[in-house]
Amino acid sequence: MKNDSGKVISNSRFPSTRDALNGFLSEFKDAKFVLESTGIWEFIYEGIEQMGFEVVLAHPLKVRAIAEARVKTDKVDAETLAHHLLDAPEQGEVSLSRI
């Protein structure tokens, strides 16, 4: 998680369960989330949305740096997504209804 200034405010990992996701989300009051379209993005997207947060799905072609990265880790991917959302949110956002 990064704030509007680009400073990392959270660097957490948690199991892929509804309870773990809700626990993670409960730490934040006002946040906007961006997701990469991974194998379980729907589960995470719906969980974030149900908690009342704004969430966007990054278009894979718009965040090509993730796919082309030589060093591919969750941390690097998250940094790239957060940077993309802060710098060019309108270019990466895809609403669920348009997918």
Using pLDDT thresholds of 50, 70 and 90, give the confidence band for residue 91.
Answer: very low
Q: What is the DSSP string of 48-91?
A: HHHTT-EEEE--TTTTHHHHH-SS--HHHHHHHHHHHHHH-HHH
Terminal Cα-to-Cα distance of the chain (whole angstroms):
25
pLDDT at 47 over 60: yes
Q: Where are the domains of the chain?
A: 18-98
pLDDT of residue 98: 41
Using pLDDT thresholds of 50, 70 and 90, give the confidence band for residue 77.
Answer: low
Using pLDDT thresholds of 50, 70 and 90, give the confidence band for residue 96.
Answer: very low
Give mean pLDDT, residues 57-61: 73
The residue among 51, 54, 52, 46 whose CA lies nearest residue 16 is 46
What single DSSP character describes residue 35? E
Give mean pLDDT, residues 75-95: 59
Does this model's pTM top 0.85? My answer is: no
